[in-house]
Amino acid sequence: MYINDVNLSPLVVAEPGESYQSQTNLNRWIEVLVDCPGSTGLFTYRSPAQLEIKPGDILSVPFGAQQVGAIAIRFLAQPNIDLPLEKIREVEDIVSVGFFPSAYWELLNRVAAYYYTPLIQVIRVALPPGLLGRSQRRIRLVRGEGEQKNNSKFQNTLTPPLVSSLVTPTARQILELLQAQPAGDYSFAYIQQKIKSAYRGIRELVRFGLVQSYLEPPRLTRPKLQKAIILIDATDSDLTTRQREIVEVLRRRGGELWQSELLQICNASSSILKTLVQKGYIVIEEREVLRTEQGPALAGDRAKSLTAAQANALAIIQSIDGFAEVLLHGVTGSGKTEVYLQAIAPLLNQGKSALVLVPEIGLTPQLTDRFRARFGMAVASTGGTRARRSLYKVSVYHSALSDGERYDTWRQMLTGEPQVVIGTRSAVFAPLPNLGLIILDEEHDSSFKQDSPIPTYHARTVAQWRAELENCPLVLGSATPSLESWVSVRRQEEQGGRGLRQEPPTRDGGAEGQGSRGAGEQGKQNSLYYLSLPERIYSRPLPPIEIVDMRLELQQGNRSIFSRALQEALEQLQERQQQGILFIHRRGHSTFVSCRSCGYVLECPHCDVSLSYHHTEEGAPQLLRCHYCNYTRSHPKFCPDCSSPYLKFFGSGTQRVAQELARQFPQLRLIRFDSDTTRNKGAHRTLLTQFANGEADLLVGTQMLTKGLDLPQVTLVGVVAADGLLHLSDYRASERAFQTLTQVAGRAGRGEDPGRVIVQTYTPEHQVIEAVRSHDYQSFSQVELEQRQALNYPPYGRLILLRLSSLDPIQVQNAAQIIATALSAEDGFEILGPAPASILRVANRYRWQILIKFAPDALPQLPDWEEVRDLCPPSVSLTIDVDPLNIM
């Protein structure tokens, strides 16, 4: 690949004063990745003698008419012979040096190769937004020495006639443009807009020393600086009372404070500080304020004395030297998090860092608080808090942070100080040097997988690679391990015989006495360990799970969405001053609206789905909303088809359940916890804190409340309708339903009061329901794995999903057909489809897909992805999803 011909003049091969001999050919040409939408290949540039570029550096390069960010990949001895030397442009500057340590670089390359994604797109996921590409090239006049801000003076240093005789008309035009502006400073892009072929003119002016070209760092992500006051002398012999007061405040606060804070406390103005500086009592320093997310102040927390099972798990994790994978299978409330905390503590003292990955931000505030309470505060670098500095940083890193916060947290990691980073999926790329441990909590959770855009990576897979490359252990924790992880454990058991003898936790026996086994007995095979925490802390029982058959309820005359058992339990909540959680599969009010007279269903005009009814409270607007494209309209009074006024709501979402609760149990105080109510920043934390403080009796929400909440006062968990989870058309539906229901049930009875779970369903005989009721992970996974194996679905045969979409229904179908035909000529896999996606049209795009199923235990690899992609016309978008989780 070579540089597109752009409107550029040939470059001068040697600059004045720069000799040919001084440069070896070796590092003269460099291939770079350019950060520009649509650009994916490598481009060749000339590496100027004055820059010492190394692979992995972030650069700024000219690209077409722009200056863009780029990453140095490798040096070339010779540029491609197809590429005329005079077309090769020169690297402008180095933005940041030595960004990617080799293991990290290797990781990014693996992700790119495995997920069929151009490397630059993987790099974009790994870097905080805006780091690449927002550095701005600017041009400014060089002014004579001792010169004031006066443009006419500049012209005196080099008189116009002289300038005219020396430079080309283009250069002169640029000079005039700059001189006309008081600051004499414009962005390169602006000058290029104003003047044709500006690039050449600027080079000329730079050579004459008339202008300077410089890089301005990204605006958005510029570090934030603030003035700090530091006390250097407190012997107050010559101070006024007022000045002494200030020195005293500083002294009491540990000798350092932000200027703004100090002035506020002392109610003083900055002039008094100047005097103190002159007298040599204080210094004022520009310090960086890190915009990392701040947690509330927390009381410290000490390590708990471990149960035998916890101690055993910890001993094994700590015995690992180098890379190994650990599956920590612990029932809900068994103290997995305590094991993580104690595994991390000694690492920090050794100067290493730890990465903790969690499924969703909803979960992070509580978890982050536990880590902060144990290891230290988020260091806010506020002045005067020296004592805190010896503690470790615990920062969060996820996509809901502002760009500035992300940038700062990210840079904070690069300092190399021992620290803990807690984050969601993309934090698997957190650039922590000296990584000592990676933990992936709730490893079964599907939010670790990215569906779109590419790379469609799974954080668990990437974490495995990363741990291997960094040579550190990876701990996967779950109460309901993914079948992928479970099968790996079982395989090793079959192959090795020795070790891995721990049974998975089941409620009735089978796992007793495991905690007492010595570390040596649980063997190590191919660096995979299986560790089990089969009991809850203090041997608290797992909550009993009652299954309520909603068909019987109806037969016996109960038309409410709450069964009699659940109604009773809700009534008791307040009497007993306990709290409950109600799980609903969907947000909104109703899943669809239909006409009772003619059966018409209100649908989204852009998607093949029905509209959900949204209504939060009396007097609020009644809306219909599409959960796929967010199309919203008001709820009609009459059927759009037959004008009947009898429109009926079907399917209950969180809003309807909340309304129904308010009607039937007006005394119950409730908090709705779903993506509608947690949209604002910090909302998760606020709502959970309110609930934890007892400001509500009931938390009503979706998926996000099933994950990791540890609230000891919760005794009741109700699942309003399990059926929404059971009857999904994808091969993972059962696994997901089992995991979700087990997790949500696991929120009950974590404290001293015993818990109770009520699951309402129309299909109580379903295998998943039975397995959830008996807390029986093992028989569930056995039946499920047999079915997967029979059909060669993962974790046996691996999958690749090709997703095609287009505004044109015919073209997309044709393209799918052509690609499927081409692929079917290849060996090593089976083609399913092409088939329309289960919702054919979303946001006006028609969607087709091709599922490629590989032989058992083969890696999901296509022989020629580039060729496949070339078969797709531009009007059709084609994306590849390796190891897809959602196939609908």
**Residues making up the binding site for Zn(2+):** 595, 598, 604, 607, 626, 629, 639, 642
Q: Which does 334 bind (CB under 5 to 8 A by kind): Zn ion, ligand ADP, none?
A: ligand ADP
Query: What would the two tokens of residue 822 be?
Result: 């081409």
Choices 303-311, 522-530, 573-581, 733-741; region in contact with ligand ADP by CB under 6 A: 303-311
Nearer to ligand ADP, 537 or 855 (CB): 537
Nearer to ligand ADP, 451 or 710 (CB): 710
Among 138, 336, 589, 685, binds ligand ADP (CB under 6 A): 336
> Which sign does the torsion angle of CA 695, 699, 704, 707 carry?
positive
Query: How many positions of this chain bind ligand ADP (CB under 6 A)?
Result: 15
Those residues with Cβ within 8 angstroms of residue 133's Cβ, 6 or more apart along the chain or in another chain: 35, 36, 68, 69
Closest distance to ligand ADP from the beta carbon of 488 (Å)? 21
Choices 97-105, 305-313, 568-576, 787-795; region in contact with ligand ADP by CB under 6 A: 305-313
Among 135, 192, 337, 734, binds ligand ADP (CB under 6 A): 337
335 interacts with ligand ADP by CB under 6 A: yes
Q: Which does 628 bind (CB under 5 to 8 A by kind): Zn ion, ligand ADP, none?
A: Zn ion
CB 89 within 8 A of CB 47: no
**Best CA proximity match to 132, nearest among 33, 23, 266, 248:** 33
The residue length of the chain stands at: 888
| Angstrom distance (rounded) from CA 718 to CA 581 | 6
Choices 316-324, 333-341, 555-563, 635-643; region in contact with ligand ADP by CB under 6 A: 333-341
Nearer to Zn ion, 283 or 642 (CB): 642
Nearer to Zn ion, 639 or 815 (CB): 639
Query: What would the two tokens of residue 812 be?
Result: 């997309």
389 interacts with ligand ADP by CB under 6 A: no
Q: Strand, helix or coil at 507?
A: coil
Exposure b/e, 407-429, CB count within 10 A at least 16 = b: bbbbbbbeeebbbbbbbbbbbbb
Choices 255-263, 328-336, 462-470, 582-590; region in contact with ligand ADP by CB under 6 A: 328-336
Nearer to ligand ADP, 298 or 537 (CB): 537
Residues forming the site for Zn ion (CB under 5 A): 595, 597-598, 600, 604, 606-607, 626, 628-629, 631, 639, 641-642, 644
Closest distance to ligand ADP from the beta carbon of 531 (Å)? 12
Closest distance to ligand ADP from the beta carbon of 337 (Å)? 3
**Best CA proximity match to 531, nearest among 780, 312, 358, 775:** 312
Q: Strand, helix or coil at 500?
A: coil
CB 70 within 8 A of CB 119: no
Q: Which does 332 bind (CB under 5 to 8 A by kind): ligand ADP, Zn ion, none?
A: ligand ADP
Q: Which does 79 bind (CB under 5 to 8 A by kind): ligand ADP, Zn ion, none?
A: none
149 interacts with ligand ADP by CB under 6 A: no
Among 153, 194, 304, 498, binds ligand ADP (CB under 6 A): 304
List the beta bridge partners of residue 593. Answer: 649
Nearer to Zn ion, 341 or 624 (CB): 624
Nearer to ligand ADP, 338 or 697 (CB): 338
Nearer to ligand ADP, 412 or 447 (CB): 447
Choices 301-309, 543-551, 697-705, 759-767; region in contact with ligand ADP by CB under 6 A: 301-309
Closest distance to ligand ADP from the beta carbon of 401 (Å)? 24
Nearer to ligand ADP, 307 or 461 (CB): 307
Among 334, 426, 522, 879, binds ligand ADP (CB under 6 A): 334
Residues numbered 671-730 forming contacts with ligand ADP, rule: CB under 6 A: 710
Those residues with Cβ within 8 angstroms of residue 179's Cβ, 6 or more apart along the chain or in another chain: 141, 151, 154, 155
DSSP 448: G
Q: Which does 292 bind (CB under 5 to 8 A by kind): Zn ion, ligand ADP, none?
A: none
- The one-letter code for the residue type at 467 is A
| Angstrom distance (rounded) from CA 535 to CA 715 | 18
Closest distance to ligand ADP from the beta carbon of 442 (Å)? 9
**Best CA proximity match to 528, nearest among 563, 494, 570, 567:** 494
Those residues with Cβ within 8 angstroms of residue 767's Cβ, 6 or more apart along the chain or in another chain: 734, 780, 783
Q: Strand, helix or coil at 830?
A: strand
Those residues with Cβ within 8 angstroms of residue 546's Cβ, 6 or more apart along the chain or in another chain: 565, 756, 757, 758, 759
* Residue tagged 């291997």 (tokens): 468
Q: What share of the chain is helix, strand, coil (3-state, %, to 5)?
A: 35, 25, 45
Q: Which does 336 bind (CB under 5 to 8 A by kind): Zn ion, ligand ADP, none?
A: ligand ADP
Among 39, 60, 135, 307, binds ligand ADP (CB under 6 A): 307
| Angstrom distance (rounded) from CA 821 to CA 98 | 46
Residues numbered 738-757 forming contacts with ligand ADP, rule: CB under 6 A: 750
- The one-letter code for the residue type at 840 is L
Nearer to Zn ion, 625 or 853 (CB): 625
Q: Where are any strands of DSSP class E within 235-281?
A: 256-258
Choices 94-102, 329-337, 790-798, 850-858; region in contact with ligand ADP by CB under 6 A: 329-337
Among 79, 333, 362, 504, binds ligand ADP (CB under 6 A): 333
Among 39, 44, 332, 419, binds ligand ADP (CB under 6 A): 332
C-beta neighbour count of 473 within 10 angstroms: 24
Largest CA distance in the chain: 102
Query: What would the two tokens of residue 92 be?
Result: 């402008």
Nearer to ligand ADP, 117 or 334 (CB): 334
Closest distance to ligand ADP from the beta carbon of 306 (Å)? 5
C-beta neighbour count of 235 within 10 angstroms: 8
List the beta bridge partners of residue 530. Answer: 327
* Residue tagged 């600059």 (tokens): 15
Nearer to Zn ion, 200 or 586 (CB): 586
Q: Strand, helix or coil at 346?
A: helix
DSSP 305: P
Closest distance to ligand ADP from the beta carbon of 304 (Å)? 4
Cα dist from 202 to 144, 186, 210, whole Å: 18, 12, 9
Q: Strand, helix or coil at 490?
A: helix
Nearer to ligand ADP, 394 or 550 (CB): 394
310 interacts with ligand ADP by CB under 6 A: yes
| Angstrom distance (rounded) from CA 627 to CA 612 | 7
Among 69, 128, 184, 330, binds ligand ADP (CB under 6 A): 330
Closest distance to ligand ADP from the beta carbon of 219 (Å)? 42
C-beta neighbour count of 524 within 10 angstroms: 18
Residues numbered 518-537 forming contacts with ligand ADP, rule: CB under 6 A: 537
Q: Strand, helix or coil at 845?
A: strand
Exposure b/e, 245-260, CB count within 10 A at least 16 = b: bbbebbeebebbbbbe
Nearer to Zn ion, 425 or 635 (CB): 635
**Best CA proximity match to 881, nearest among 847, 851, 840:** 851
Q: Which residues fall in the annotated binding site? A: 595, 598, 604, 607, 626, 629, 639, 642
Among 256, 338, 445, 493, binds ligand ADP (CB under 6 A): 338
> Which sign does the torsion angle of CA 717, 718, 722, 724 carry?
negative
Closest distance to Zn ion from the beta carbon of 812 (Å)? 18
Closest distance to Zn ion from the beta carbon of 723 (Å)? 24
Q: Which does 704 bind (CB under 5 to 8 A by kind): ligand ADP, Zn ion, none?
A: none
Q: Which positions touch ligand ADP (CB under 6 A)?
A: 304, 306-307, 310, 330, 332-338, 537, 710, 750
